[in-house]
Amino acid sequence: MNQDRPAWLHGASAECDVLPKPPAVITRLVLLGPPGVGKGTQAALLHDRLGACHLSTGDVFRNAGSRPDGGQTPAIREALAYMRRGELVPDATVLETVRERRACLHCRGGFILDGFPRTVVQAESLQRLLDQERLQLTAVINYDLPEAAIVERLAGRRTCSQCKAVYHLTERPPELAGRCDLCQGALFQREDDEPESIRVRLETYKQSTAPLIDFYRKLNLLILVPASGTADEIYVRTMSALSVRPLRS
């Protein structure tokens, strides 16, 4: 998890330490796709190569869970309460969490939204928020991968217990088995990366998030990108698809 986004991770009271150099073209993206297609990896590549800020709602919630209650906003406390009960965070709570950080949508390098929106209701709310902020999305990228490949990919994923770096037993193994290359922290398998949990997550995705494909297709924002192959191959496909999009201010 990148640590140079305090305004996103901590809320409006914080300021970012690293301000990106304004790129020639500002890119504002939403990334869609079921768990395991590599949205986080692609967001990191797009951030590094386009200068757009990676805005992951998952990072916000994970960071908030490790902070004292006094450093949490009401929306964050409400979200964490749902998560501790194993429940989905309601649309209104997720939106309020993003709204608290709406200044990040004006990042001069653009932005990449990862993990939000997850439902059509959230997408409609995001669209209203962007209209209020006088911002336009460049595109919405939907990464697609067969279910069997997703299960195989996620089941081999391992996460660092300290810095949260992500590895894969076959596709991106650590140099030392069971240890993070960056901080030497122990690697572990998240409960939701176990095969039975993965299938539940995919079913939830189909029911709540997949309808976003039609929503953004109707807005002429949707780009479909196959998520097979290496991260760099997927990135090349993404950039090729973006290159034919009309520019938006």
- What residues are labeled active site? 39, 118, 157, 190, 201
Task: Match 């993206």 to its residue by tokens.
Answer: 29
- Contact at 8 Å (CB) between 167 and 157? yes
Cβ neighbors of 228 (< 8 A, separation 6 or more) are: 145, 149, 234
Query: Distance between terminal CA atoms of the chain?
Result: 29
Report the 10 Å Cβ neighbour count for 84: 9
Q: Which of 175, 153, 159, 180 is nearest to 234 (CA)?
A: 153
CA–CA separation, 136 and 248 (whole Å): 7
Q: CA separation (Å) from 184 to 170, 175, 196, 218?
A: 19, 10, 29, 47
